[in-house]
Amino acid sequence: MNLEEIRNSYSEGESYTVEFKESPDKELSSEVCAFANASGGKIIIGVHDNGYVVGTDTSNSARGRIQDTINKVEPRLDISFDVYDDIIVLTVPEGNQKPYSCPAGFYMRIGSVSQKLDRNSIFALLQDEGVVRFDEIVRNDLPIDELFDETAYQRYIKKAGISEVLDKGALLKNMNCAGISGGKLCYTNAGALFFRKNDEDTLFRHASVVCALYKGREKVHIMDAKELNNRNHAPSY
CATH class held by domain 3-128: alpha beta
Rounded to 5 degrees, what angle do the CA atoms 112, 114, 115 make? Answer: 120
Once rounded to an integer, what is the mean pLDDT over residues 146-170? 89
- Higher-confidence residue: 121 or 102? 102
Q: How does the average pLDDT of the chain come out, rounded?
A: 85
Nearest to residue 53, comparing CAs of 44, 41, 65?
Answer: 44
pLDDT tens for 186-212 read 999 889 888 998 766 567 766 777 788
Confidence grade of residue 10 (pLDDT, cut at 50, 70, 90): low
Judge whether residue 214 has pLDDT over 50: yes
pLDDT > 90 in the chain, percent: 46
| Cβ atoms 132, 126 nearer than 8 A | yes
Q: What is the pLDDT of residues 47-85, one digit of tens each?
A: 988 888 899 999 999 999 999 999 999 999 999 999 988
DSSP per-residue letters across 137-182: -EEEEEETTSSB-HHHHHHHHHHHT---SS-HHHHHHHTTSEEEET
pLDDT for 230 beyond 80: no
Domains of the chain, residue spans: 3-128, 134-205
